[in-house]
A = this chain, B = another copy of it.
């Protein structure tokens, strides 16, 4: 679905949080993995089954708190084809529960290849006379390094299937400055990326004034968030880096407009691993829910979602 659907889900839940389902095996309660290993041996299938149960329980527990989930494809690829089946199934389960689902795949390649990536995550593949949606997410993250023709196939599928993308702009990791802050020549590279992103989004402005071509802006770069918010009133921001990576509620509040719209804040480890902090491996889903509620409250002090 396009950006309007995300904005409305945020409004309905009064919570601009996206929960990152980025499960590494060390994030799982040990008993869960142990049960699956007992059933299927020390295999990727066992690991994938454990992740599937983990995701399902979290999706059930968070459904009335969190409007969106983001699934980090790397965590599923690391479990091979079995992991990719969990990615597909978790996306479907989340959408059935009413979540807005972002596949965090950061794909980027030349046009003819980008068509395949877009078909994989947003579009359809035709087999004989049948159109099949391989992963079927609402939105996918993309990498801008190869320029417009690597983005165009996604824009086409956005039109056809009412979807969204988020372009990597200013990321939250420490070394992101090595390229993103280079001056090209009168402003940093990430600003050139934001300009391109803004242009790509022009045909996709929704009823709240935001486009379905969003931008990833790390919570660890608060002054840049603020500057981008001012200069690009149409860009919806996906903001990673809150919590574990150091971004505060105040930092991320700058990503929002006066109506409390225009961004969604990701939290992965704090929610996924809440059971570790509470020493409650049996009740991992309840612990995740409690953390999601805490985060909602914390963000609510700085941001009013309308």
Whether B77 lies near A81 (C-beta < 8 A) is no
Give the docked Cα–Cα distance between A37 and B130 (Å).
Answer: 11
The count of residues in chain A whose C-beta lies closer than 8 Å to any C-beta of chain B is 74
Cβ contacts under 8 Å, A246 to chain B: none
Contact (A180, B145) CB under 8 Å given A109-B106, A125-B25: yes
Judge if A148 is at the interface, Cβ distance under 8 Å. yes
A40-81 to B contact mask, C-beta < 8 Å, 1/0: 001110110000000000000000000000001011011111
Whether A110 lies near B146 (C-beta < 8 A) is no
- Distance in angstroms from A55 CB to nearest chain B CB is 15
Judge if A175 is at the interface, Cβ distance under 8 Å. yes
Cβ contacts under 8 Å, A79 to chain B: 125, 134
A71-95 to B contact mask, C-beta < 8 Å, 1/0: 0101101111111110110000000
Cβ contacts under 8 Å, A119 to chain B: 78
Interface centre among A37, A110, A147 (most CB of B within 10 A): A110
- Distance in angstroms from A18 CB to nearest chain B CB is 15
Whether A80 lies near B175 (C-beta < 8 A) is no
Cβ contacts under 8 Å, A111 to chain B: 173
A174-187 to B contact mask, C-beta < 8 Å, 1/0: 11111110111100
Whether B74 lies near A109 (C-beta < 8 A) is yes
Whether A146 lies near B171 (C-beta < 8 A) is yes
Cβ contacts under 8 Å, A81 to chain B: 81-82, 84-85, 87-88
Contact (A107, B74) CB under 8 Å given A84-B81, A189-B189: yes
Whether A148 lies near B120 (C-beta < 8 A) is no
- Which of B24, B106, B125 sits near A107, CB closer than 8 Å? B106
Closest 6 CB pairs of A and B: A147-B175, A185-B185, A147-B178, A74-B116, A42-B130, A42-B128
Ordered by A's residue number, 15 sampled pairs between the chains whose C-beta atoms are within 8 Å are A25-B127, A37-B127, A42-B127, A44-B132, A47-B127, A74-B107, A78-B116, A79-B134, A80-B120, A106-B143, A146-B168, A146-B176, A146-B179, A147-B177, A179-B189
